[in-house]
Amino acid sequence: MTNVLLEKKGNIAVATINRPQALNALNSAVLTDLDELVNVVRADSDIRALVITGSGAKAFVAGADIGEMSTLTPAEGEAFGKHGNDVFRRIETLPIPTIAAVNGFALGGGCELSMACDIRICADTAVFGQPEVGLGITPGFGGTQRLARLVSPGMAKQLIYTARNIKADEAYRIGLVNAVYPAEELLPQAEKLANTIAANAPIAVRACKKAINEGLQVDMDAAVVIEEKLFGSCFKTADQIEGMGAFLEKRKHEPYQNK
């Protein structure tokens, strides 16, 4: 993975999109490396939370690579969109929680990558947007779908139709990000959040992610059945026995073992 760097730090990992000369723009090679990142993270049971950020001080991901896209035919454009959507869907459905630490421009594909993560936090210098209609195309990596689900259909339509970029404070106001930090504090805060998540019972955390994500796609009657089954699946795990035992014995639980 030459375009994505992965660093493990105990039970968390930090993935950095590493194409700073192009403001970390997403071309086919970067998408392929992100796909491989998913494979690596899925294969490592020690990783309980993943932070995704961009290299350099200017950009998280400035967008998809316009140079690569400019000559595509309609069929090639559709295939490029499918490549991005397939990769982002794999990130979205990773069993473990993911945190986008947005350190700068998150435009087009960069905004879409952040939205494929469970949680978004950003630097006070971050800028978000879906500028595609200003280039004669639509968002192609899930922007028309996830933005409307995360903020509101009306707000998503306004941002997409106008191709207007928004700063960190507005992204926070509309609910696109959970928190805004000074740039130098962003990654430490992202790692702190990831470590807080990783300290909880991993089987239960993964079950919560699955319940939320799958439940949002069905009606409430079906959603509560998903929750009931995942709730039941946690019982008799070693971590459930230790966690409840420690509570009843009024002691601090031992580190969870992910089993």
The residues annotated with a catalytic role in the active site are: 112, 132
Single-letter residue type at 24: N
Q: Chain centroid to CA 240: how far?
A: 27
Q: Chain centroid to CA 158: how far?
A: 23
* DSSP 3-state of 182: coil
Q: How far is CA 228 from CA 233, 243, 244, in A?
A: 9, 19, 19
Of the candidates 61, 10, 13, which has an alpha carbon nearest to the alpha carbon of residue 41?
13
Distance CA 12, CA 51 (A): 8
For tokens 């509570």, what's the residue?
247
Burial of residue 242, with CB atoms counted within 10 A of its CB: 0-12 exposed, 13-18 middle, 19 or more buried: middle
Tokens of 12: 């968390």
Distance CA 141, CA 81 (A): 6
**CA-derived radius of gyration, the chain:** 19
Q: Are strands 179-181 and 127-129 parallel, antiparallel or unpaired?
A: unpaired
